Amino acid sequence: MVFTLYERAQEAANFIRSKCRRNPNIAVVLGSGLASFAESLSEAITIDYSEIPYFSSTTIEGHRGKLRIGHCDGVYTVAMQGRFHYYEGYSLEQVTFPIRAFKLLGIDTLVLTNAAGGINPNFNSGTLMLITDHLNLMGENALRGGNDNRFGPRFPDMTEVYTRSYRDVALQVASELAVDLEQGVYAALSGPCYETPAEVRMLRALGADAVGMSTVPEATVARHMDMKVLGISVIVNQGAGMIDKRLSHEEVLKTAEESGARLAELLNRLAPRLAVSNE
């Protein structure tokens, strides 16, 4: 028997719900090397992705492949310690499947984080960037194929993918914590190669401030289902050709882990405020 995407997402949501103490309020996706926020959740339970029906497996270092569910200052939160990527060979349906399940779990607030390369010459390694908009340069769209109206409309509006009111809250919280939070446009490419210097110049000409290999499919699917989205990039290196240095995944993880504490501090203060603003 072949089950529809909706039915598979419902089964995954039901499994996660069976492990929860109550309905979660917020879902957070943690990118490469950024898992520390999940460890700060109190009274938390941990579920391996392999246990959840139809979830894929992470194959990349820095992505632990675990779901942590616990309290963040009273807000019941689901945190993904690692995500699935298009460049791993997964379809975008598989990449975005957890977001579908979270929506059917009753979650309407999604926070997406990633480790990204800096295109804006004013961004240094370790900079936190609030995503204001994105460029989908992956050559594929997560909504391609048949549409199930139970999820959302055939042609969803993308005028405001990253919820403005959430961005305002994030900027306010960052100011209170004295955490520098830049703003910019995130470009997504398919990967897994890092960009060439010519591609970095192209991206800058197109208006990108940061580049990575994730986030856009998840944000697109979230908006399709009318979820509110906040996106934050951790700039882990400057783009190829901007500095005389070779790029490596080891450097990405090192910088992400060093910046993870500041991101976790920001997210711990943000989650309760987003929950309040969503009421």
Pairing outcome for strands 42-48 and 26-30: unpaired
Active-site residue, from 49, 85, 138, 227: 85
Active-site residue, from 39, 44, 202, 249: 249
Among 273, 279, 217, 278, smallest CA distance to 72 is for: 273
249 catalytic per annotation: yes
Active-site residue, from 13, 56, 80, 88: 88
Active-site residue, from 12, 13, 49, 63: 63
87 catalytic per annotation: yes
Active-site residue, from 36, 114, 237, 259: 237
Active-site residue, from 6, 54, 87, 90: 87
Active-site residue, from 79, 115, 264, 275: 115
115 catalytic per annotation: yes
Active-site residue, from 125, 214, 233, 259: 214
213 catalytic per annotation: yes
CB contact at 8 A, 102 and 73: no
DSSP string, 231-268: EEEEEEEEPBTTBSS---HHHHHHHHHHHHHHHHHHHH
134 catalytic per annotation: no
248 catalytic per annotation: no
63 catalytic per annotation: yes
Q: 25: which 2 tokens?
A: 């309020």
Whole-angstrom distance, CA of residue 125 vs CA of residue 229: 24
141 catalytic per annotation: no
Rg (CA), the chain: 17
Question: Would you name the residues annotated as active-site residues?
Answer: 32, 63, 85, 87-88, 115, 213-214, 237, 249
